C-alpha cells in the first residue's frame, strides 16, 4: 500500500495548492466527486489509514448534496437499507465524536401519513417490517398527529406512523462543509475545479486518473460523481446503468404559525414531505 504522507503530520502535508505545483501526486485511493458521498468515502478511507485524493470538477458540495432537504429516514424498503439508514442517523448524530468537527442535527422525529385505503395498507406493511428490522416506529393516534404538528391539519381518518429516530440537517450544505473540514483536518487532499477527464488502466485493473493538470497513480478509484456517475464510469469503459432524475425543493417565505421544533412529515399518498426551515417551510415533491 502506498502512503505518500505516512509519518507526516497533517499540518506538514502538501496543501492542495502545493500539489498543483509539484504534479507529483500519488495515492491509495482517488475519489471522483466531492459531494456528500465522495467526501464521506474519502473521510472513512482516510480514517482507515489510506492516503486519499478527492477530485472535484467544480466546488465541493456545489451540486446535489448542497441542495437537498437534509432528511434522514429510518423506514426503508428492505432490511439492508434500513440498517444503513439507521447507521447513518447514528453517524450523523455522533459526527463530532468520530469526525472531530461539530455538526448540528435536528432530532425532530417524523410522521408518515397515509390518507387513502391503499396507502394505509402500505404503511401497515412498512410498520410491520420496519419493527422487525429494528427501527423504532409505532402507530400514531389522530390525537398525537393533531397535537404535535403546527403546520398540518389532520382530517382525523389518517393512518400515521411515528418514527422517533428520524432527523434532519437544517442547512444541508453544512454536512458537506463538516465533511470537508474533517477531511482536511486529517490530511485528505481535496482538489476543486479539477475535473477527471480520463481513467487509466493496466492489465485490466484501474491504475489512476487524468486531469488537465496532472496524472495521479492509484490502485483504487471511487466514482462518486452523482448525476455524472455514468459518464465518469464511461472513462474506464465501464457501464453503470443509472439515470439521474430531477426533484423539486421549495422553501416558503416565513410562516409565523409554524413551530420550528415540529417533526418532519411525509404524506405518502401525495409523495410530498415537509419540515420546518428557519426561512419558512421546506416542502419537497417527488
Ligand atoms: C431537491 C432534492 C432533495 C433531496 N433531499 C434529500 C433528503 O432529504 N435526504 C436524502 O438522503 N437525500 C436527498 N436527496 C438526494 C441526495 O441529495 C443525493 O442522493 C446526494 O446528495 C448525492 O450525493 P453525491 O455525492 O452522490 O452527488 P453530488 O452532491 O451531486 O456530488 C457529485 C459531485 O461529482 C462531481 N463530478 C461530476 N463529474 C466529475 C468529474 N468528471 N470529475 C470530478 N468531479 C466530478 C460533481 O461536480 C459533484 O460535485 C435530495 C435530492 C434533491 C435533488
Q: How confident is the model at residue 280 (pLDDT cuts 50, 70, 90)?
A: confident
CATH tag, 69-171+245-285:
3.30.9.10
Instruction: Look at residue 282 in the predicted model and tell me its pLDDT.
Output: 85
Distance from residue 215's CA to the centre of ligand 1 (Å): 25
CATH tag, 14-65+173-234:
3.50.50.60
**Number of the ligand 1 atom closest to the C-alpha atom of 197:** 41
What's the start-to-end Cα distance of the chain, in Å? 44
**Number of the ligand 1 atom closest to the C-alpha atom of 232:** 41
Q: Using CA atoms, how far apart are residues 44 and 42, in angstroms rounded to an integer?
A: 6
Distance from residue 19's CA to the centre of ligand 1 (Å): 26
Distance from residue 216's CA to the centre of ligand 1 (Å): 24
Residue owning the nearest CA to atom 15 of ligand 1: 68
Q: What is the mean pLDDT of residues 229-253?
A: 93
Residue 31: all three cell numbers together: 475519489
Instruction: Look at residue 20 in the predicted model and tell me its pLDDT.
Output: 44
**Number of the ligand 1 atom closest to the C-alpha atom of 248:** 1
Mutate which of 226, 234, 284 for ligand 1? The one with the most ligand atoms within 8 Å of its CB, which is 226
List phi, psi (to 5°) of 86: -70, -35
Instruction: Look at residue 10 in the predicted model and tell me its pLDDT.
Output: 55
The pTM is what? 0.91
19: pLDDT strictly greater than 80: no
Distance from residue 149's CA to the centre of ligand 1 (Å): 30
Distance from residue 247's CA to the centre of ligand 1 (Å): 12
As for ligand 1, residues whose beta carbon falls within 6 Å of it are 32-38, 55-58, 62-65, 67-71, 195-196, 224-228, 232, 247, 249, 284
Q: Using CA atoms, how far apart are residues 252 and 279, in angstroms rounded to an integer?
A: 7
Q: Using CA atoms, how far apart are residues 88 and 106, in angstroms rounded to an integer?
A: 14
Distance from residue 226's CA to the centre of ligand 1 (Å): 5
Mutate which of 31, 69, 167 for ligand 1? The one with the most ligand atoms within 8 Å of its CB, which is 69
Distance from residue 36's CA to the centre of ligand 1 (Å): 7
Structural domain spans, the chain: 14-65+173-234, 69-171+245-285
251: pLDDT strictly greater than 60: yes
Q: What is the pLDDT of residues 219-239, one digit of tens each?
A: 999 999 999 999 999 999 999
Q: What is the mean pLDDT of residues 253-260?
A: 91
Mutate which of 59, 64, 265 for ligand 1? The one with the most ligand atoms within 8 Å of its CB, which is 64
**Number of the ligand 1 atom closest to the C-alpha atom of 246:** 53
5: pLDDT strictly greater than 90: no
Amino acid at each position: 500500500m502506498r502512503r505518500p504522507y505516512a509519518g507526516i503530520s497533517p499540518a506538514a502535508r502538501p496543501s492542495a495548492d502545493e500539489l498543483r505545483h509539484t504534479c507529483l501526486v500519488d495515492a491509495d485511493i482517488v475519489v471522483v466527486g466531492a459531494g456528500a458521498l465522495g467526501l464521506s468515502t474519502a473521510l472513512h478511507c482516510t480514517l482507515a489509514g489510506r492516503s486519499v485524493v478527492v477530485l472535484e470538477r467544480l466546488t465541493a458540495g456545489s451540486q446535489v448534496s448542497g441542495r437537498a432537504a437534509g432528511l434522514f429516514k429510518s423506514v426503508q424498503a428492505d432490511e439492508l437499507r434500513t440498517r444503513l439508514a439507521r447507521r447513518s442517523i447514528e453517524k450523523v448524530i455522533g459526527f463530532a465524536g468520530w469526525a472531530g468537527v461539530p455538526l448540528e442535527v435536528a432530532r425532530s422525529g417524523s410522521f408518515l401519513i397515509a390518507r387513502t385505503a391503499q396507502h394505509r395498507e402500505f404503511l401497515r406493511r412498512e410498520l410491520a417490517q420496519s419493527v422487525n428490522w429494528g427501527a423504532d416506529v409505532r402507530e400514531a393516534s389522530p390525537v398525537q398527529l393533531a397535537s404535535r404538528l403546527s403546520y398540518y391539519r389532520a382530517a382525523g381518518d389518517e393512518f400515521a406512523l411515528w418514527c422517533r429516530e428520524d432527523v434532519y440537517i437544517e442547512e444541508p450544505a453544512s454536512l458537506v462543509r463538516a465533511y470537508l473540514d474533517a477531511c482536511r483536518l486529517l490530511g485528505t487532499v481535496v482538489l476543486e475545479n479539477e475535473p477527471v477527464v480520463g481513467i487509466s488502466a493496466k492489465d485490466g485493473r484501474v491504475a489512476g486518473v487524468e486531469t488537465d493538470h496532472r496524472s495521479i497513480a492509484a490502485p483504487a478509484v471511487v466514482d462518486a460523481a452523482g448525476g455524472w456517475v455514468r459518464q465518469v464510469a464511461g472513462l474506464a469503459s465501464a457501464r453503470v446503468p443509472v439515470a439521474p432524475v430531477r426533484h423539486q425543493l421549495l422553501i416558503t417565505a416565513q410562516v409565523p404559525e409554524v413551530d420550528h421544533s415540529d417533526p418532519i412529515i411525509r404524506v405518502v399518498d401525495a409523495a410530498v414531505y415537509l419540515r420546518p426551515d428557519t426561512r419558512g417551510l421546506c416542502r419537497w415533491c417527488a
